[in-house]
Structure 1
């Protein structure tokens, strides 16, 4: 009875540190959580984009594998920050940028969370609408509400739900993959694999960005693990789950779009569940809905903590009341639901632009955050100062902000966002977009140099 009472309690922690007495679990739970977060319909849509941009299906799958393998490295390196520090991912950015300075990347991450939550509501809402015959807007609202309720219960339920969704997604995707492959001439689809290298690099950047944009989430999902949990274990359990899940789902999406074309675009959920035939329509719709819940909940869960981190920077609050916590979650849920309803018409086209946009701003943050943790401060932080504008991390950190802004600026000449902006170096490279590589390497290196010079000057 006591155990049942504990498991039904709402999570108490928000932006405050998790004490050692409340730490629990094993890093293997990170595998199932991140496998489930990737093994779902939005990943399949991202895989479809690799073919949509003009890459041959076979090379699209190669781009899926390489992009996720590369992007998964910095993503999984963030996992160790959770157990070592016991605080949410983005509040730790105050140690690099200052308590007020961190608001700049925080605002951009809030945009990311809202965008992904909205896109998840569009796809999940498609399934809910087909199951319940609700109007599309009402189905989106139901899906957003259900996601918010799980986030309110909190960390333990999210991990348990991830385990269930992981097991269910394996069963569903094994079946759907067999149906997709056996029902079509795969040899014809993969024949004559010509390589358009600039477009291949674009597909590579799309899939790498999928992993890189998970950076702000990762420590949120590992911060309750015991502080003695090793860096190696958190990295490999996270990396294995996120890369394996994404590669499978994205490869499925690439093949589905190559085979179906317009039948897939704009009707992603209907096409996928239609592979199972009429008899399995409702069970597959339900499975797609449940599978998408994991990452949708992570979006609203991380979103509310990021909003709270930004707003509490000016009030010096180090924790939220239960009422405030629920209010933040509700606000993010409502706003994300409204964005989904207003933007669902051109979902697939808008989504590729959204991914491109995010990459330019998130890779410099991830670069600075990781080198600070592993190389500059070597996993040692003053947690009290994270909440105090007058503490050792101060209000603003000019060094981090300089590295961050220059990290964004150095990408601009190499950027290629189709229909919006093409940097002067992109045509020289045949239209290939390599800006994300510079955004990942340069800011961290510059920040490290600036920090070491500052310490030497003292």
Structure 2
């Protein structure tokens, strides 16, 4: 074991765990923390934009709201099923992908995930930078961007506990801020006139579903990062429902607000931050603070989860099981620096193009989710050999051909059904622009992967935990471990 693998874990404010399993004696918190974290992460300006796009892409306001609701529910189910893995495994989300893809094979989706969250973090930094500049009257765009980057780095470096604290603050701030904005919208506009402006079409309805389902599923690759410290006996149902409720309720509220704003013809899409400030009137500065708080929550998730993903990728090829605090710090600062540089160098046209590219990359999440969930709940049935996740010569090997084939097939089958700014598939055109690519991918990937994996996966008879490594003078085992490699947890 490397020197970094045996780094002691501090009980201080700064998190020391990275990609290793969280032992039982370090577990803490309750499922309610998942509700506030994901409520705060979704009650923010980019979710409002996502809802507005449903109307911009042709949906009637009520159809857009209903379509967004269905998509949020379906995507939220997928996302929350990943979250429920956290207490059971005590691992970052993408480490568990090694069960399906192999220790090194998991690097394929990991690299695409890193690129995705760099893009989301950069665009979020631009919006927050604008809000900070308006709050303090800065004329240089770089000022707000740099300040927000520094805030993101600070929270991500402190880690898990502070991220959850920011989520709780963001929940309260978001409810109050967007509640006030909704009140202003109803007093300044004839909201009833937003409905019935366009005829119903299935294409625009399915597009609205895709927007919200895709929104929810982008959280899937790192959602368990924020539930892995919960005690292993935490109810699986409690973790699922608190995550699902927090994410779906807040996202739907924000997206409904966006759909109404777009349907009323307000100048929101071209100047999101400025419009919300104008709508707020005398409380504009307060609303800018609401924007920054909401974006800080989700940007910290991007930075923290992005770094976990990078460390997971690197560790597959250097056999690390843990990284030092200094290494973790360097990766976080590097990630945030890149997002700040992209935000500083980006013109408005570049950002539009980059967002479209990022949306196209959503296609990589759907088949990954299908493979991971089918294996965890139907094949492995929550039984994982955790030490083997860090050894390419172990149970899961370096590469798993069945998972990689199913994953690539799940991407390819989406191509004819995609309808995005960068590309429109022939079947999407034939259906009037409807994008059902994510539904096709979920179904096809699951149906292909399940029978093949059921015949080939080497599933342990029970959960296998790492052997305890007691300090001098400590008991022979850590709480929650029996001292052997085979130990069955009672989560859920």
Which bracket does the TM-score occupy, shorter chain normalised?
Answer: over 0.9
User: 1:379 corresponds to which residue?
Assistant: 382
Shift of 1:127: 0.6
| 2:365 matches 1:339 | no
Aligned counterparts of 1:104 and 1:182: Cα–Cα separation in 2: 50
1:273-306 residue CA offsets vs partner (Å, 9 max, x unmatched): 22121x3122221122112211110000000010
Aligned residues of 1:368 and 1:443 also touching (Cα < 8 A) = yes
Shift of 1:133: 2.5
Aligned residues of 1:210 and 1:355 also touching (Cα < 8 A) = no
Shift of 1:344: 4.8
Which is worse superposed, 32-41 or 8-17? 8-17
**3-state SS, counterpart of residue 318 of structure 2:** coil
Aligned counterparts of 1:200 and 1:413: Cα–Cα separation in 2: 19
Aligned residues of 1:150 and 1:158 also touching (Cα < 8 A) = yes
Shift of 1:347: 7.0
User: 1:213 corresponds to which residue?
Assistant: 218
| Within-5 A mapping of 1:368-407 | 368-407=371-410
Aligned residues of 1:213 and 1:358 also touching (Cα < 8 A) = no
| Within-5 A mapping of 1:22-421 | 22-134=26-138, 135-261=140-266, 263-277=267-281, 279-346=282-349, 349-350=352-353, 353-354=356-357, 356-418=359-421, 420-421=422-423
User: 1:445 corresponds to which residue?
Assistant: 447
Aligned counterparts of 2:212 and 2:354: Cα–Cα separation in 1: 13
Aligned residues of 1:119 and 1:347 also touching (Cα < 8 A) = no
**3-state SS, counterpart of residue 427 of structure 1:** helix
| 2:436 matches 1:434 | yes
Aligned counterparts of 1:455 and 1:146: Cα–Cα separation in 2: 44
Which is worse superposed, 54-63 or 112-121? 54-63
RMSD: 1.6
Bigger proportion of residues as helix: 1
Which is worse superposed, 199-208 or 100-109? 199-208
Aligned counterparts of 1:266 and 1:184: Cα–Cα separation in 2: 19
Which is worse superposed, 305-314 or 184-193? 184-193
List structure 1 runs of 4+ shifted beyond 4 angstroms: none
Structure 1: runs of 5+ lacking an equivalent? 1-5
User: 2:485 corresponds to which residue?
Assistant: none
Aligned counterparts of 1:203 and 1:442: Cα–Cα separation in 2: 22
Structure 2 length as normaliser, TM-score? Answer: 0.88
Structure 2: runs of 5+ lacking an equivalent? 1-9, 459-492
1:349-388 residue CA offsets vs partner (Å, 9 max, x unmatched): 4465245312211100011011111111011111111111
Aligned residues of 1:266 and 1:347 also touching (Cα < 8 A) = no
Which is worse superposed, 135-144 or 358-367? 135-144
Aligned residues of 1:151 and 1:329 also touching (Cα < 8 A) = yes
